Structure 1
Amino acid sequence: MIRILDILFSSLGLALGWPLLLLIACVGKLDTGSPMFRQQRVGRFQQPFTLIKFRTMRPGTASVATHLASASAVTPFGRFLRRTKLDELPQLWNVLKGEMSLVGPRPCLFNQHELIEERARRGVFDARPGITGLAQVNDIDMSTPKLLAETDARMLRSLNTAAYFRYILLTVTGKGAGDRIRS
């Protein structure tokens, strides 16, 4: 049922949201010269996939977890995109392709060994990674790998249609601050 909802909502989001996506891409092009950001992430069953987002940091910024990136790398427009979570919109394409779900554990980088180990131990990689979930709406980010993996596993054990809609609604209404960036 959740995969059907993912297909429906990502299709609708892309079909109805294309003017906003185009506007953000145009402003992003002026902001950084390269509005889209692509990065290899750990997907379901630990398979690699290419995550796409709107770029919020200057091109050439080191490919590290957000909590390890410097705040000075984030552009003013990027701060706006992160605060409003609009930088995540292109991931609707990842959802439509089946690489992600709207709700699930946030996909990590392959160099986040501690988080990968903690998630593997708890079976978190049996699920598709998501755009939002229990950890995100509770401000738990990748800077606390064990807590994040425990929270992801707890969410997956109780994930049903009602919880799916609750996490989406909480995210859309602004709950959760997103990944912290060091000052």
Structure 2
Amino acid sequence: MKFQGFSKGSEFGLNSLCFIFNFAGAKLQMICANQLLDNMGNALERGRFLGLDVGDKYVGLAVSDPDNKIASPLSVLFRKKTNMHLMALDFQRLISELSLSGFIVGYPFDGQRRNADAVQVKIFIDDLCKTGKLEGVKYTFWDECFTSKNVELLIKPLKLPPILSKTIIDKFAAVGILQGYLDHFNRRPELEER
């Protein structure tokens, strides 16, 4: 299994060491997040990114535009331990249909490395690896702190039905995660030279 992962880099004082995780017997190389974009090479060769907001029941998805400037909501996948192979097939289809280059996975960088949300994200990645269907897919973790809460506060006055509210929150939390990544790396001066 070669599902490659990258973590948020030391520019934020978090995860300043790059290290190797071993998920499901598969080595995942954890390196700084900026290398995901750097590995894409020329801007004309780059694909789009898929943002993921991983929850206990749902995974919210957002996709970048072809220029990797703007994130838009895409969909929500239902998450169960028994449907990981189906989710992996959905991801394969999205990679092909949307010309995706990598995943930006929301991760709670709040200093508590063992909180329930962080464990949940790691279990999700582990379960995807176990499917064997996403070999070679690159991903990075990006800070998701308060993305869901911000969206929840924005839509609360709309008084939507709970299920509709939850799917909107998950999709737009994924947008917040992906847009944060895109904004950060589109400000880098070395990108303008490409």
Q: Same fold (TM over 0.5)?
A: no
Structure with greater helix percent: 1
Structure with greater strand percent: 2
**Bigger RCO (CA 8 Å, 6+ sep):** 2
Q: TM-score, normalised by structure 1?
A: 0.30
Q: TM-score, normalised by structure 2?
A: 0.29
